[in-house]
Structure 1
């Protein structure tokens, strides 16, 4: 599988890289090196989706490194998000409860 950037994508990448290297703040920077993020997605074609995910789970280092170098992302885990979503909802409820408790105890 190859990931090919269109000309406009490559121009954006080059612009962001130049901004980063010059130390100038660019409002488009949403992600930061060495931080962990999650991507949630819904499968609309399970055959294509499986082929795509299998590329991230390749066992040969050369293929995986090529993908990582191209997209700039190291995939640590792939899992069904339904349980994660419920866990995140529970964390939000706990945070809300803690905030309300602090307000009451003032």
Structure 2
């Protein structure tokens, strides 16, 4: 759905016409509420919000499946490392960086 100029509403106008805006949204419109000339909030139908949340959950699941697929491909290709060895490597990389950023204590 595209947003037109009449779907962009200043905050003060939205506050005074909330009932009318709610009816328009229930009829299928989406409203962008602005504050100080910049987008601030969106007013959408609750059912549509549920759909957006469902789509976002599905997107997250697809990303997780893709990560798992890539991980399995790494295993098949032999690109694996023992977990303890990997953690030790990470800790070794962090040690010089952490010691370089530690503050020097004054003695006096």
**Structure that is richer in helix per residue:** 2
Which category describes the TM-score, using the shorter chain as reference length? 0.3 to 0.5
**Structure that is richer in strand per residue:** 2
